[in-house]
């Protein structure tokens, strides 16, 4: 009798915990703990708040509520894989790994399980080739897009030519940090600049040698592919040696409030590439306030709203839910499967007008994904930190990537992957 009651209780608990069949399940592999939590928390809050808004205001997407299944990874690859294994059976529509390391681990697994993986501005760059990576997406841009855009911007700042200039790349000594090297080397041949590479070992708390070297070599520009504490220390060291901060440009993972605030006034003028606007001066935030913050239903304490990474979380939630909407439209059903989700992602088309309808006019560039191109549009702008006002401001137009250099690299790398893994690229005609 006791066993029966226990079994009934356990079953009831499981039913209560598991999402209903008619829910749209979105797993979130967050990192609210560990050394990278200062970056993980605002992103996770932004992502959750937007999903909560849709549930509260619209009843979900297409009338179906969204269920967020949060799993804490602490930015640890092994934990990320555990999260994937635990959640894939719960009807997960798409996995957003929030880490390049986890993405690399999930690519073969998710391909077999036929669940889309969306590494939003990180992960394996050549996954942009949808002919090879059917289940992997990395829109709205890749690291190679970012590298070529930073070079284009530097060129504009140098009067249209980088001939004879010295550029130093300070990079996290990991697969992520090394991603832009090939692109920057190819661009160096094309534009005639000298590229100097300086690696920083994880975690990057001590960078005296690296910045002494930069001080001796006096490059015209320093680019940074950093993460976590490496960013804060680099910005501080650059300020210490009085490197002109307007010529110090980071990738989009080296350009949040957390990266610049510890250096105080010294960080003034530092720049980073970004694909979306900072700040909360958009109509969407009024809706978030009414339906989420004021109802006491926000994921965080409200202090991160409008920060770069909070907005990136909101962006990620929007492109995810818009893909769900597209999948529902294509297949004519409200309850979709991971395969349908993939179709939605592959046919995603968020125009400037749609961004405005969503309450984010001018927030980012239009996005149009296709069977062949999973990394579009690759557009990005440059933002600059104002230490006095304590805010980032977009200081350039949106640039297109240098397709002439980037596309052959994507083609070569993805075809090498296809050959290693016996994948026959599909036709996207």
Partner 1 sequence: MDPVVLNTLEVILNGLMAGVMYSLVALGFVLIFKASGIFNYAQGVMALFAALTLVGLQTGQVPFAHLINAIFGTQLHHFGWELPSILAILGSMAVMILFAFLVERYILKHLVNQEPIILFMATIGLAFFMEGFGDLMWGADIKKLDVGLPQGGSFWLEEQTAGWASEGSDYYGMYIDVLDVWATMIAVALVVALTLFSQYTKTGRALRAVADDHQAALSVGISLRAIWVIVWAIAGFVALVAGIMWGAKLGVQFSLSLIALKALPVLMLGGFTSIPGAIVGGLIIGVGEKLFEFAIGPMIGGATENWFAYMLALLFLVFRPQGLFGDKIIERV
Residues that bind partner 1 (CB under 8 A): 32-35, 37-38, 41, 173, 197-201, 203, 205-206, 208-210, 212-213, 215-216, 218, 228-229, 232-233, 236, 239-242, 258, 261-262, 264, 266, 296, 301-303
In this structure, are strands 66-72 and 117-118 parallel, antiparallel, or unpaired? unpaired
Residue matched to tokens 């009831």:
12
Residue 218: burial class (beta carbons within 10 Å; 0-12, 13-18, 19+): exposed
Residue placing its CB nearer to partner 1 in the complex, 61 or 258? 258
> Could you identify the residue written with the tokens 């579009």?
376
For 122, 137, 158, the CA distances from 308, given in Å and listed in that order, are 16, 22, 27
Nearer to partner 1, 218 or 426 (CB): 218
CB of 49 to partner 1, least distance (A): 16
Residue with Cβ nearer partner 1 (281 or 301): 301
Smallest distance from the beta carbon of 416 to partner 1, in angstroms? 22
Rounded Cα distance, 260 and 264, in Å: 7
Between 198 and 341, CB nearer to partner 1: 198
* Residue 40 C-beta-side C-alpha neighbours within 13 Å: 22
Q: What are phi and psi of 215, to 5 degrees?
A: -65, -35
We find the least distance from the C-beta atom of residue 24 to partner 1, in angstroms, to be 27
**How large is the C-alpha radius of gyration of the chain?**
22
- How far separated are the first and last CA of the chain, in Å rounded? 63
Alpha helices in 158-228 (DSSP H): 175-178, 181-191, 208-217
The residue among 238 and 348 lying less far from partner 1, judged by its C-beta, is 238
Total Cβ atoms within 10 A of residue 189: 10
- To the nearest 10°, the Cα dihedral for 74, 28, 53, 336? 180
* Closest CB to partner 1 among residues 110, 200: 200
Beta bridge partners of 225: 171
Q: How far is the CB of 278 from partner 1 (least distance, A)?
A: 17
Inter-residue contact 224 to 361 (CB < 8 Å):
no
71 beta partners: 29
Beta carbon nearer to partner 1, 181 or 418: 181
For partner 1, give the closer residue by CB, 34 or 269.
34
The least CB distance from residue 382 to partner 1, in Å, is 23
The least distance separating partner 1 from the CB of residue 226, rounded to whole angstroms, comes to 12
CA distance linking residue 394 with residue 317, whole number of Å: 22
Shortest distance (Å) from residue 197 CB to partner 1: 7
Please state the closest distance from residue 344 (CB atom) to partner 1, in A: 34
Helices (H) and strands (E) in the chain, counts: 15, 13
Residue 61 bridge partners (DSSP): 64
Q: Which is nearer to partner 1, 34 or 65 (CB)?
A: 34
Nearer Cβ to partner 1 (34/359): 34
Nearer of residues 92 and 292 to partner 1, judged by Cβ: 292
DSSP classification of residue 19 = P
- Does the CA dihedral 123-128-130-131 come out positive or negative? negative
CB of 230 to partner 1, least distance (A): 9
CA separation for the pair 237, 306 (Å, rounded): 27
Give me the phi and psi of 393, to 5 degrees please.
Answer: -135, 135
Torsion, CA 302, CA 305, CA 307, CA 310, rounded to 10:
100
Q: How far is the CB of 130 from partner 1 (least distance, A)?
A: 34
**How far apart are CB 173 and partner 1 at their closest, in Å?**
4
């Amino acid at each position: 009798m006791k066993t029966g009651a226990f079994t009934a209780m356990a079953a009831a608990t499981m039913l209560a915990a598991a999402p209903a069949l008619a829910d749209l399940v979105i797993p979130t592999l967050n990192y609210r703990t560990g050394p990278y939590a200062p970056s993980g928390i605002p992103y996770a809050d932004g992502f959750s708040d937007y999903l909560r808004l849709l549930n509260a205001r619209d009843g979900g997407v297409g009338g179906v509520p969204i269920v967020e299944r949060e799993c804490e990874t602490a930015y640890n690859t092994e934990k990320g894989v555990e999260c994937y294994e635990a959640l894939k059976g719960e009807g997960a529509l798409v996995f957003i790994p929030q880490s390049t390391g986890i993405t690399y681990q999930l690519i073969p697994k998710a391909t077999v399980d036929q669940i889309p993986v969306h590494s939003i501005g990180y992960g394996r760059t050549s996954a942009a080739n949808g002919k090879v990576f059917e289940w992997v997406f990395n829109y709205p841009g890749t690291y190679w897009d970012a590298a070529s855009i930073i070079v284009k911007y530097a060129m504009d700042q140098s009067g249209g030519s980088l001939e004879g200039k010295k550029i130093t790349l300070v990079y996290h000594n990991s697969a992520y940090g090394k991603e832009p090297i090939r692109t920057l080397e190819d661009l160096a041949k094309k534009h005639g600049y000298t590229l100097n590479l300086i690696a920083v070992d994880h975690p990057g708390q001590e960078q005296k040698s690296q910045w002494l070297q930069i001080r001796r070599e006096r490059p015209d520009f320093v680019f940074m592919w950093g993460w976590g504490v490496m960013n804060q220390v680099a910005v501080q060291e650059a300020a210490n040696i009085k490197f002109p901060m307007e010529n110090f440009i980071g990738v989009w993972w080296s350009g949040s409030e957390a990266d610049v605030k510890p250096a105080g006034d010294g960080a003034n003028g530092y720049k980073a590439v970004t694909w979306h606007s900072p700040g909360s001066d958009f109509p969407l935030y009024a809706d978030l306030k009414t339906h989420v913050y004021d109802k006491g239903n926000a994921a965080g304490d409200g202090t991160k709203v409008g920060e770069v990474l909070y907005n990136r979380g909101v962006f990620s939630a929007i492109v995810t839910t818009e893909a769900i909407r597209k999948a529902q439209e294509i297949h004519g059903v409200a309850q979709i499967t991971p395969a349908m989700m993939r179709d939605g992602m592959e046919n995603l088309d968020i125009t400037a007008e749609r961004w405005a309808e969503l309450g984010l006019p001018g927030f980012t560039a239009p996005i149009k994904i296709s069977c062949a191109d999973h990394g579009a549009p690759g557009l990005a702008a440059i933002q600059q930190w104002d230490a006095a006002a304590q805010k980032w401001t977009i200081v350039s137009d949106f640039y297109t990537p240098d397709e002439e250099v980037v596309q052959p690299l994507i083609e070569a790398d993805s075809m090498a992957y296809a050959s290693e893994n016996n994948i026959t690229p599909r036709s996207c005609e």
